[in-house]
């Protein structure tokens, strides 16, 4: 009975086993056929192509300027075309290009190297081990100057900030980004400010003791510098200006002008020419100052005047300038002229003018002027 019951099931079981074996063989062949090209290339690709490295935060970097602590070296740019004037504590002024700024660690390394190559160490060099320095390139070569020996470092084009004026006459150069206050003849206070490189505004008022406020003089001047350009490769430039001013000689005496001028600026000398025109009436003025003075003046509407000015830096000094002005208030009357000559002592902030004014009468009047440009 058991034998009879098993016989019908044996052929079916063998058939299913064979069919499963055949399906597994076919699948195995298909898998081998499909993936066989990648079986050799994938290991090669993964072996030769490294996995991307995980990003790392950049290390903080610092420039030599970031390590500078001396106030006199702050804001100085090295290795540029800017020419600097370096004023030392002994009064000497050196000019040239700063090619490198040395921090304290670089100075210390150089001093250690110099001590090794020298037979004996220098006490002065040892005292500079905790100092900073600059390398200045000029006609003498490359000089290393310690910060403790420097009083001031100024770009050459920003050293002389008084070039927008002579004694009385404005030049065609703008006040630019500067502002100043001053006093002329110790009796007339004035101030000026520059708005960009185009607009310059000055104003002042007399402070004469013993004169009432309505008898004091007031002046306001507006100058526009519309055009400036170099004319050769040596740095010579030409500036042009137009403008106007109004003056109150006592409250009732109003004098108004328009003017135009030009300044030719060289390396040491500037020459200015100006023409001005009186635009308003009246022609006759009665000027008084309390019990100090009283006189009449004839200044007609439509009068043309001329002015010439000279500003020349002395060749062997950077802080002394020769200043000269020649005025003629009326081209039809040569007697209405005056010549002013003198010297200007100056640095980057302060100017002191001393001179004399000569008129055809003849009359010689000494004059002084002080100005402070802190901004």
pLDDT in tens, 293-313: 888 989 999 999 999 999 999
CB 296 within 8 A of CB 317: no
Whether 62 shows a pLDDT value over 60: the answer reads no
Comparing 343 with 251, the larger pLDDT belongs to: 343
Query: What is 297-342 written as a DSSP string?
Result: EE--TT-EEEEEEEEEE-TT-SSEEEEEEEEES-TT-TTSEEEEEE
Q: Contacts from 343-350 at CB under 8 Å and sequence distance 24+?
A: 344/162, 344/311, 344/320, 345/319, 345/320, 346/160, 346/162, 346/319, 346/320, 346/321, 347/319, 348/152, 348/154, 348/158, 348/159, 348/160, 348/161, 348/373, 349/161, 349/373, 349/374
Q: What is the pLDDT of residues 255-293, one digit of tens each?
A: 999 999 999 998 889 999 999 999 999 999 989 888 888
Instruction: Give the model's confidence band at 122: pLDDT under 50 very low, under 70 low, under 90 confident, else very high.
Output: low
Q: If you average pLDDT over residues 179-204, what whole number do you get?
A: 96
- φ, ψ dihedrals at 112, nearest 5°: -65, -40
Residues facing 352 on adjacent strands: 345, 370
Whole-number pLDDT of residue 341: 97
The percent of residues above 90 in pLDDT, for the chain, comes to 45
The percent of residues above 70 in pLDDT, for the chain, comes to 77
Whole-number pLDDT of residue 14: 43
**Using CA atoms, how far apart are residues 31 and 291, in angstroms rounded to an integer?**
123
Q: If you average pLDDT over residues 182-211, what whole number do you get?
A: 95
Whole-number pLDDT of residue 362: 85
Whole-number pLDDT of residue 51: 41
Whether 87 shows a pLDDT value over 90: the answer reads no
Whether 334 shows a pLDDT value over 60: the answer reads yes
Encoding tokens for residue 34?
């499909």
Compute the radius of gyration of the chain from its Cα atoms: 42
Instruction: Give the model's confidence band at 96: pLDDT under 50 very low, under 70 low, under 90 confident, else very high.
Output: confident
Whole-number pLDDT of residue 49: 41
Domains of the chain listed by start with CATH number: 64-156 (2.30.30.100), 160-372 (2.40.160.40)
Whether 90 shows a pLDDT value over 70: the answer reads yes
Q: Please work out, in degrees rounded to the nearest 5, the angle formed at the alpha carbon of residue 304 by the alpha carbons of 300 and 308.
A: 135
Whether 355 shows a pLDDT value over 50: the answer reads yes
**Using CA atoms, how far apart are residues 61 and 93, in angstroms rounded to an integer?**
35
Whole-number pLDDT of residue 163: 93
Whole-number pLDDT of residue 264: 97
Q: What is the pLDDT of residues 31-55, one digit of tens each?
A: 443 344 434 433 433 344 444 444 4
pTM across the whole model: 0.68
Q: Which residues contact 309 (CB under 8 A, 6 or more apart)?
A: 166, 169, 171, 270, 271, 272, 273, 274, 323, 324, 325, 326
């Amino acid at each position: 009975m058991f034998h009879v019951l098993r016989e019908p099931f044996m052929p079916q079981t063998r058939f299913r086993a064979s069919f499963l074996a055949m399906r597994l063989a076919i699948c195995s062949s298909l898998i081998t056929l499909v993936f066989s090209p990648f079986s050799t290339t994938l290991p090669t690709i993964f072996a030769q192509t490294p996995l991307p490295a995980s990003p790392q935060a950049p290390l903080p970097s610092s420039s030599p300027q970031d390590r500078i602590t001396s106030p006199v070296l702050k804001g100085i740019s090295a290795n540029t075309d800017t020419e600097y004037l370096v004023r030392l504590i002994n009064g000497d002024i050196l000019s040239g290009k700063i090619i490198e700024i040395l921090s304290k660690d670089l100075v210390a390394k150089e001093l250690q190297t110099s001590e090794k190559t020298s037979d004996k160490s220098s006490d002065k060099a040892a005292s500079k081990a905790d100092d900073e320095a600059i390398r200045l390139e000029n006609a003498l070569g490359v000089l290393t100057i310690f910060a403790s020996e420097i009083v001031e470092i100024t770009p050459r084009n920003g050293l002389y900030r008084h070039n927008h004026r002579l004694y009385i006459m404005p030049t065609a150069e703008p006040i630019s980004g500067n502002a100043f206050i001053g006093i002329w003849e110790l009796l007339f206070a004035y101030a000026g400010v520059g708005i960009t490189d185009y607009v310059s505004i000055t104003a002042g008022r007399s402070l004469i003791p013993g004169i009432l406020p309505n008898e004091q003089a007031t002046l306001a001047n507006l100058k526009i510098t519309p055009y400036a350009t170099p004319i050769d490769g040596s740095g010579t430039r030409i500036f042009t200006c137009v403008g106007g001013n109004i003056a109150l000689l006592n409250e009732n005496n109003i004098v108004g002008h328009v003017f135009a001028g030009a300044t030719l600026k060289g390396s040491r000398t500037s020459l200015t020419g100006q023409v001005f025109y009186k635009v308003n009436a009246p022609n006759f003025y009665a000027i008084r100052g309390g019990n100090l003075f009283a006189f009449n003046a004839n200044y007609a509407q439509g009068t043309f005047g001329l002015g010439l000015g000279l500003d020349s830096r002395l060749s062997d000094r950077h802080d002394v300038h020769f200043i000269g002005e020649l005025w003629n208030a009326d081209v039809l009357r040569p007697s209405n002229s005056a010549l002013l000559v003198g010297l200007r002592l100056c640095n980057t902030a302060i100017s002191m003018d001393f001179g004399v004014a000569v008129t055809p009468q003849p009359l010689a009047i000494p004059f002084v002027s002080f100005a402070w440009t802190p901004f």
